[in-house]
């Protein structure tokens, strides 16, 4: 299987790269600034590109080098939290661009490279539908990703027969979930019916289910331990 993970240097990108690093797969990875945090595949054929997914020119250049993608997973993301009345306009713009524009540009250029019957998965957040004090820019961006996914799914199904879905993640023992203070983490756990952050392997299992389906399309799949029902 030919898989591309856009934004692979983060926790979820690393998790998925490790999972799909087998002799049967070819993996394309992208990173923005430093490849130091990348997991370099050992068993699969791999290609690695430095690419700023907020740049139309760079995204086009990266996809120009790639053909026959069966699965494209967009895991780009960035946070700069602040209350609205104190939020710098630059912080708003950077978070919107890093979380929403990146997905738009990846899908815009990637759809020409994804094979018929292939899959695009956009990683979103539970906050896109719940909201959070101090994270209005991130919430707006992830809400945008989910609305974009639904519209783009219709376009792709009609024109290219490509299946587009999104995963809205709750809190997991990986990535941003590990950056929270213990006080904040405890408060969040009390709100989760299962009383704990999720096992990252749940993300892997859901991704595998999505790419095994030929009937799942345009869905925002929530994986959050019951925090949002």
Whether residue 34 is predicted with pLDDT greater than 90 in this model: the reply is: no
- Please report the pLDDT score of residue 181 as a whole number: 85
CA distances from 32 to 35, 64, 138, 176 (A): 8, 17, 19, 17
Whether residue 180 is predicted with pLDDT greater than 90 in this model: the reply is: no
Q: Which of 138, 171, 209, 215 is catalytic?
A: 138
Query: Quick one: 2-223 is in which CATH superfamily?
Result: NAD(P)-binding Rossmann-like Domain (3.40.50.720)
Predicted TM-score of the model (pTM): 0.96
- Please report the pLDDT score of residue 109 as a whole number: 98
- Please report the pLDDT score of residue 80 as a whole number: 93
pLDDT confidence band for 86 (50 / 70 / 90)? very high
**Separation of alpha carbons 134 and 142, rounded Å:** 14
* 215 catalytically annotated: no
Assess contact for 102 and 94: CB atoms under 8 A.
no
pLDDT, tens digit (0-9, with 9 covering 90-100), for 89-113? 999 999 999 999 999 999 999 999 9
pLDDT, tens digit (0-9, with 9 covering 90-100), for 35-79? 888 999 999 999 999 999 999 999 999 999 999 999 999 999 999
**Separation of alpha carbons 164 and 219, rounded Å:** 8
pLDDT, tens digit (0-9, with 9 covering 90-100), for 107-148? 999 999 999 999 999 999 999 999 899 999 999 999 999 999
């Amino acid at each position: 299987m030919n898989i591309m993970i856009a934004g692979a240097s983060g926790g979820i990108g690393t998790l998925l790269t490790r999972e799909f690093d087998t002799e049967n797969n070819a993996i394309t990875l992208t990173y923005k600034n430093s490849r130091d945090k990348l997991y370099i595949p050992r068993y699969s054929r791999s290609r690695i590109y430095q690419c700023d997914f907020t740049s139309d020119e760079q995204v086009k250049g990266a996809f120009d080098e790639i053909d026959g993608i069966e699965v494209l997973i967009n895991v780009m993301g960035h946070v700069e939290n602040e209350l609205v009345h104190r939020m710098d306009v630059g912080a708003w713009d950077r978070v919107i661009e890093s979380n929403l524009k990146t997905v738009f540009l990846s899908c815009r250029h990637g759809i020409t490279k994804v094979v018929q019957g292939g899959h695009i998965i956009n990683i979103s957040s539970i906050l896109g539908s719940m909201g959070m004090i101090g994270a209005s820019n991130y919430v707006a961006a992830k809400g945008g990703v989910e609305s974009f996914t639904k519209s783009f799914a219709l376009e792709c199904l009609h024109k290219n027969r490509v299946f587009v879905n999104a995963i809205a993640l709750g809190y997991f023992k990986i990535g941003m979930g590990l950056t929270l203070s213990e006080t904040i983490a405890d408060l969040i756990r009390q709100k989760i019916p299962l009383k704990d952050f999720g096992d990252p392997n749940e993300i892997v299992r859901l991704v595998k289910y999505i790419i095994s389906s030929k009937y799942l399309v345009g869905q925002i799949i929530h994986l959050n331990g019951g925090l949002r029902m």
